[in-house]
Structure 1
Amino acid sequence: MIRQDVANTLLIVVHRALPAYFVGIALLSFSIHIHAEAPTLDALTRIEILANDHPDRALQQLRALESEARKAPMATRAAFLGALGYTQALSGDAEAAQRTSSELEALAGGNREIAAEAMLVRANALFVRGSLDAAAASAKSALESFDAHSPARLRYWARHALGSILFEQARYDQALTHLQEAARIAEDNGWARRRGMVLNSLATLYLNLRQYDRALQAAAEACDIARRGNDTAALANYKLTEANIHSATDTRPAQHMALNESLRLARSVGARATESAALINLSDYYLSSGDYAAAIGHAEQAMPITREFQDWSGEATIQTNIGLARILSGDTASGKPLIETALETYASHGARNDEVAVLREYGDALRKTGQSAAALETLLRERTLSEELLQSEKQRVVLELQARYEADKRDREITLLNRENALKDAQIENHRLARRVWWLLMVVCALAALVVGLLYRRVRSTNRQLEERNEELAIQSSRDPLTGLYNRRYFQQRMAQLDASPADLATNTVRATYLIDIDHFKRINDRRGHPAGDAVLIAVAERLREALREADMIVRWGGEEFLIFVPRIRADQMAELAQRIIHAISGQAVAYNGDLIPVTASIGYAPFPLPPGGIRLPWEREINLIDMALYLAKAHGRSRAYGVARLLTEGDGGIERIEHDLEQAWTNGLVELAITEGPPPVPVD
C-alpha cells in the first residue's frame, strides 16, 4: 500500500509533518550542537528549522533556553511557546503541544496575533491526533484573525496550514486557493525556502487532480530551490513527491530512481522521517513489482523509525505492506493478522478512506491466492464501509451548500439594506434642496428615478445570475464530470423515492438493475496511463447511451463500474438486454493515441420484485445481491453476465441464505441463475 500521507497528500514526511507547514520555515544547514544561546527570535527560528527533521534535538535546545525565555518580554516569550508547541507536536507528543497552546492563549490576553498563534499550535496538535475537522476549524479561526496589515509570516503559516488540512479532507478546490495564496506571499517577500515548501505541496495537489505536467513543473522548481540553497533534507522530501508523480504516470524506472535518491539524501543528513517515507514507498514499489522479499525488507527497515516518532499511520501502512506481501507469497496465516491490526488502527483514528483502500487491496490479494470465500467477505466489508462514507460525504455537501446559501442570503439582505439607506439619504437631500431652490426639484426627482431604475435592473440581473448558478449546482450534484452520466448520489435519491412510492408494474413486467465492471481496467491504467483509462470510460459511457432506451438510467457507479436501471422490462427479455450490453461494450476496441485498446465487461443483474413470489427488497439489498452476481461473473472468467432469474425457495429465510452467499445458494438449488457468455477477455498489453 502506498503511504497516503506521502504519496497522495501534501504531507512531506510522516503523519506528524504538517507542523512544518505551521512554522513555515525551510531547512537550513547549520550547527545542531546544544548551547546556552540567548532566547532571541533568530535563535528560536533556527531551533524551529532544526525541529523539522530532528525534533528531539530541538526540544533539548528549547529546554536549555526555557528559564531565560520565560523571563523575556511578551513577544519573545510568545515566540518561545510557539516554537515549543510546534516541536512537541513534531516529536509526536500531541498532549504536550495542546498544553503549550493553552499556555500561549492565556499569555495572549487581548493580543490578537498571539491568540492566533495559539490557535495554529492547537491545530497542529489536533492534526497529529488525526482530528482533521477540529484542526481545520482551529486553523481557519487563526486565519480569520488576520487582515492585510498582519505580519506576512503569520498569514503565510495560516494559509499553508489550512490548505494542507483541507487537502487531507479531499477538499481540493479550497486547498488550492489557500496554497496558491501562501506561494504568492512567499514570493512577494523573497522567501525562497518557504516558496519551495509550497511548490512541493502544490505539486502533490496537482498530482491528485491528475494535472501531471503542472505537478512535474512545480516539483522541479521546488527541487531547484533546494539545490540552490544546499537544502539536502528538503531536496530529499521533494524527490519523494517527484517519485509519486512518476508512479502516477507509470514511468517506473524514473520512480525507482527518484525513491532511491530520496533515501540516499535523507540518510546523508540524518532526516529520519523522510528516510522512513522513502523506505515505505520503496516497499510499495517492490510489492507492485512482485518482489515480495524486497517489499518486506524495506518495510521492516522503516518500522523502528515510525515507532520512534510514534507515527501510527506509518506503522499501519508498514503492517499492510508486509501482510500483503506475505499473503501473495503464500504465507496467509502470518499475513492476515498484520492487515487486521492495520485496519483496527485506521478505524480507531477515523482514517476511513485508508481503511477502504486496505480492504480493497486485501480482498484482491485473497482472490489472487484462490481464497474466494474470504475475498467475498472482504468485498462485502469494503462495500459496507464505502456506503457509510458516501452518506457522510453527502451530509457534508448538503451542510456546505446550506451554509453557502445562508451566507449569500445575508449578503443580499445587507446589499438591499444599504440601497434602502442610500435612497432615504437621497430623499432627505432632495427635500433640503427643494426648500432652497424649488426649480431644482424636477431635476433631482429625475435623477432619483434614474437611480431607482438602474438599481432595479441590477437587482433583476443579480437574481437571474443566482438562478443560473443554482441550476448549475443542481446539475453538478447529479452528474459525473468525466462521463456526463448520472452519479451515485442521484441514483440513491431516485431509488429512495421509488421505495417510498413503488410504481405498479404490468403483468410479467419487472424493473431490472445491471451492475457492469470493465475487465482488467487496472491494467489499462497501469500500462497505458490514466488518460487512456479515462478514454475507455468515456467510450463505454457513449456505447451504453447508444445501446439503451431514453427511459433507462445509466449511472457512473464508481471507478470502472457502471449501473443501469431499467424501470420496465419483460422478465424474458433481461438476458437479451445483458447480451446487447456486452456486445455494445466489447464489439469494437477503443482507439487512443493511434492504438486500439480491447475492452470487455462483466455484468451482474436481477429483476425486482424477485420472481416467482414478487419479493420486494430495499434497493440497498438489491444492489448487494447484484454485486454478488457480478462477483461470480468476474470469478468465473469475466466477459459474461450472471443474472438472478428466479428463486427456487420461499420465505424470508431462503432469501437471507441467498443474500449471504449467492454461489453456495446456486449450488444448493435455492436460486436459478441466467448466464450469458461474451467474447473472450483480451489481456491489456
Structure 2
Amino acid sequence: MTPWIRAALFALALAAGGQARAQATPTLDARVAEQEYLGRGHPTEAAAQLDRLRAETAEFSSQRLELLTVQGLILAQASQPEGAERAAAQLEAWGRSRSSPEASAAALLVRARALARSGHLQRAETLMREAMALLPLDRPARDRFRYVFAQGYIADQSGKLEEAVRLNHEALTLADRTGDPWRRAEARNALAYAYFGAQQIERAHALGLEAIAIAQTARDDVSLAHAYNTAGIVLDNLGDRQGERRSFELAIEHARRGGAKLDESLYLANLADFYLKEGDYKTALAHAERALPLAREVKELNGETVALMNIGLAHISMQHFELGKRRVQEAIAIDERRGSLTGVSDSYKELGTYLEKAGDLPGALTALHRHRALAAGILQRDQQKAIFAMQEQYDADRRARELVLLNREGEISAEQLHRRDLQQRLWWLLALVFVLSFATVGLLYRRVRRTNLLLSSTNDQLKVQSERDPLT
C-alpha cells in the first residue's frame, strides 16, 4: 500500500471517528430536554445537573432561557418553592434588563406553577393570564405546551371545568406536535382527569387508556404512574372496585420504579383511602404508614396531611380512639399552620363521620359542630374573596382599557407627527419647486434676451449691407 493511500485511509478513519463522537455526544438542547424528562421523578438531581449545564450556555441566549425555565418548573412541581423562586427571579431580572417578553413570561410561568402547587390558585391564575399575554405567538410548540399545560392544570384545580377541558385539548395538540412521548402521555392523562371532573366518564376512560398505551410503548414509569392513578379514580366512579385497586397498585409500583417519591406517597394515600372505604382498616393503616415517611422526606405537606388523616381514621375505625384522634389533630395542625381553613373544616367533618361509625357519639358531635362553625366562616370568607376577585378583575380590565387607550393615544400622536412631518416635507418641496421654477424662468429670460440681441445685431448688419451697391 502506497504512503498516500495509507494517509488517505487514516484521514477517513479520523473523520469517521470524529463524526461518531459527535453523534454520540448529545447536543446541549437534548441534554436540557433529558433533564426535563428525568426531573419528574428526580427533581433535585435534575435541577443540580441543569446548574452544571448552565456554564455551557451563553448569557441571554435562547438556551439559557430554556434551561432556567425548565429548572424553575421542575422545582415548582416538586414543591420546592425556594429553588423555583431563584430561577423566577433570574428570569424576571433578565426580562427587565433586556426588555425580553420571553424571559418575563417564563418568570410568571414558574411562579404561577409554584403558587398552584401550594394551593394559591387565584393568584396563580392571574399570573398565568399575564404570562400568556406576554408570550410571543411564534414560540415553538414545546415552549407553548409548558404554558398551556400549566394553565390547564390551574383551571382544573380551580374547578373551571370547561376551561380546563379546552386548555388541555390545546395542550394535547401541542404535545403531539412536539413528538415527545412523555408529553403526549401526560397531556392525555390531564385531559382525562379534566373530562372526569366534567362527568364525561367514558371519554375520560378512553383517554386514560391512550395515555397508558403511549407510556407503555415509551417505557416511561412516571407517566405510567400518573395514568394508572387517574385510571383508578375513573374506575371508582364506574364501580369497578377491583380495577380501581389494581390501578392504584400499579401507580405505586411505577412511581417507585421511576423514583417519583412525591407521587408514590400520594398514591399510597389513595390506596389507603380505598381500603378505608372497603372496611379493611389494617391494610389501610399499613399503606398510610408507608406513605407518611415518604411525604415527610420530600416535604410534601398535602401528602403528609392525607397520610396522618388516614392513619388516624384507621385507628378510630379499630376503636383506638385516643391514638386516632391524636393523628387526626396532627393533620389538622398542618392545615391550620398553612391557613387552609377548608382543609381543617373537611378534616373535622370526616373525623365526625368516622367517630360516629365507630360508636364515639360525643366525639362525633364535637367534631361536626367544629366543622359547621368553620364552614359558616369559610362561606363568609369565600363571599368576601369573590367580591375582592370581582374588584380585582374589574381593576385588571380597567388597566387593560387604559393601556389600550394609551396605545391609541400614542398611535394618534404618532400619526399627527407623521402628518406634520409630511406637511413640512410638502412645503419644502413646494419651495424647492418654486425656486427651481424661478431659476428656470430666469435662465429662459436670459436666453431669449440674448437671442433677441443677436437677432437685432444681425438685422442691423443686413440693413447696412442692403444699403450698399455692390457695383460701386
TM-score by length of 2: 0.73
C-alpha separation in 2, matches of 1:318 and 1:53: 20
Aligned to 2:175: 186
C-alpha separation in 2, matches of 1:248 and 1:304: 30
Within 5 Å, which residues of 2 pair with 1:6-85?
Answer: 40-69=28-57, 71-72=58-59, 74-85=61-72
Give the 3 Å change call, closer, same or farther, for CA 50–188 of structure 1 in structure 2.
closer
More helix by share: 2
Picking from 84, 101, 112, the partner of 1:112 is: 101
Aligned to 1:300: 289
Picking from 271, 287, 291, the partner of 1:282 is: 271
Within 5 Å, which residues of 2 pair with 1:270-349?
Answer: 270-349=259-338
Identical-pair percentage? 31
Aligned to 2:21: none
Aligned to 2:185: 196
Q: 2:317·2:358 contact (CA, 8 Å) conserved in 1?
A: yes
Q: 1:53·1:271 contact (CA, 8 Å) conserved in 2?
A: yes
Show CA shifts across 1:72-107 (max 9, x none).
552222222223323333444312221221112112
Aligned to 1:441: none
For the pair shown, the structure with the greater C-alpha radius of gyration is 2
Show CA shifts across 1:90-136 (max 9, x none).
44431222122111211222111111111111223323443322222
Q: 1:39·1:80 contact (CA, 8 Å) conserved in 2?
A: no
C-alpha separation in 2, matches of 1:201 and 1:362: 31
Q: Secondary structure at the match of 2:319?
A: coil
Q: 1:51·1:90 contact (CA, 8 Å) conserved in 2?
A: no
Give the 3 Å change call, closer, same or farther, for CA 184–149 of structure 1 in structure 2.
same
More moved, 78-87 vs 313-322: 78-87
Give the 3 Å change call, closer, same or farther, for CA 209–386 of structure 1 in structure 2.
farther
The alpha carbon displacement at 1:277 in A equals: 2.5
C-alpha separation in 2, matches of 1:406 and 1:262: 44
Q: 1:38·1:68 contact (CA, 8 Å) conserved in 2?
A: no
Amino acid at match of 2:34: R
Aligned to 1:235: 224
Aligned to 1:31: none
Q: Number of aligned pairs? A: 378
Gaps of 5+ in 2: 1-24, 403-472
Amino acid at match of 1:53: G
Picking from 81, 88, 103, the partner of 2:75 is: 88
Aligned to 1:540: none
C-alpha separation in 2, matches of 1:275 and 1:76: 32
Amino acid at match of 2:31: A
C-alpha separation in 2, matches of 1:134 and 1:272: 28
C-alpha separation in 1, matches of 2:191 and 2:153: 10
C-alpha separation in 1, matches of 2:174 and 2:71: 25
Gaps of 5+ in 1: 1-36, 414-685
Give the 3 Å change call, closer, same or farther, for CA 209–394 of structure 1 in structure 2.
farther
Q: Is 2:160 aligned against 1:174?
A: no
Within 5 Å, which residues of 2 pair with 1:85-164?
Answer: 85-108=72-95, 109-164=98-153
Give the 3 Å change call, closer, same or farther, for CA 218–356 of structure 1 in structure 2.
farther
Within 5 Å, which residues of 2 pair with 1:237-256?
Answer: 237-256=226-245
Amino acid at match of 2:198: L
Within 5 Å, which residues of 2 pair with 1:167-566?
Answer: 167-397=156-386
Q: 1:94·1:128 contact (CA, 8 Å) conserved in 2?
A: no
Q: 2:37·2:182 contact (CA, 8 Å) conserved in 1?
A: no
C-alpha separation in 2, matches of 1:330 and 1:202: 41
Bigger relative contact order, structure 1 or 2 (CA pairs below 8 A, ≥6 apart): 1
Amino acid at match of 1:60: A
C-alpha separation in 1, matches of 2:322 and 2:169: 48
TM-score by length of 1: 0.51
Show CA shifts across 1:237-281 (max 9, x none).
100100011112322111111112222223334332332222111
Q: 1:39·1:76 contact (CA, 8 Å) conserved in 2?
A: no
Amino acid at match of 1:89: A
C-alpha separation in 2, matches of 1:306 and 1:219: 26
Aligned to 1:601: none
Give the 3 Å change call, closer, same or farther, for CA 100–412 of structure 1 in structure 2.
closer
More strand by share: 1
Q: 2:231·2:247 contact (CA, 8 Å) conserved in 1?
A: yes
Q: 2:261·2:298 contact (CA, 8 Å) conserved in 1?
A: no
